[in-house]
Amino acid sequence: MLILGAVAAHLISPASTSYGSGLFYAVLAGQVLTALAGVVIWRKRWSRHGFYPTFVPVVSVAPATVLAFGGTFQSIVAGALAGALIAPPVAAALSARLPKTVHPFTGNVASMSLCTAVIVPSLGLLPGFAS
């Protein structure tokens, strides 16, 4: 339902989605790919723990990479896969180290910031990526 709402919002007002970049469908593709990859890659941890923060790259690394590099095929795939591989274990590690009085979401948000700040500029160093 959420995706249908986002598509409807984009159809009604394209400038209201993806910061008016025109990259809504590229961002959505990166988010779907990173969600799928994250669940497939970390499925054993999902089974073992009942939860694993595979949503972290969906709302951080994947869309930031698409927006930073113009929605190219490389930006969609590289941002999605790098985010799916790196961001969930970083989030889990940070959350596990927090005091019990601090909600684990704090570690997840820290992972979003850290991974986005490291992965996006690092991809810019590779051939085929230009902002």
What is the token pair recorded at 122?
Answer: 């690092």
Tell whether the model's pLDDT for residue 14 goes beyond 80: yes
Report the pLDDT value the prediction gives residue 131, as an integer from 0 to 100. Answer: 62
45-103 pLDDT tens trace: 989 999 999 999 999 999 999 999 999 999 999 999 999 999 999 999 999 999 999 99
**Residue percentage of the chain with pLDDT more than 90:** 88
Asked, for residue 33, whether it belongs to a domain, the answer is: yes
Tell whether the model's pLDDT for residue 121 goes beyond 70: yes
- In the chain, how many domains are there? 1
Asked, for residue 34, whether it belongs to a domain, the answer is: yes
The answer to whether 116 and 60 have CB atoms below 8 angstroms apart is yes
Q: Give the domain extent around 35.
A: 21-123
pTM over 0.85: yes
What's at 116, amino acid-wise?
A: T
Asked, for residue 128, whether it belongs to a domain, the answer is: no
Asked, for residue 130, whether it belongs to a domain, the answer is: no
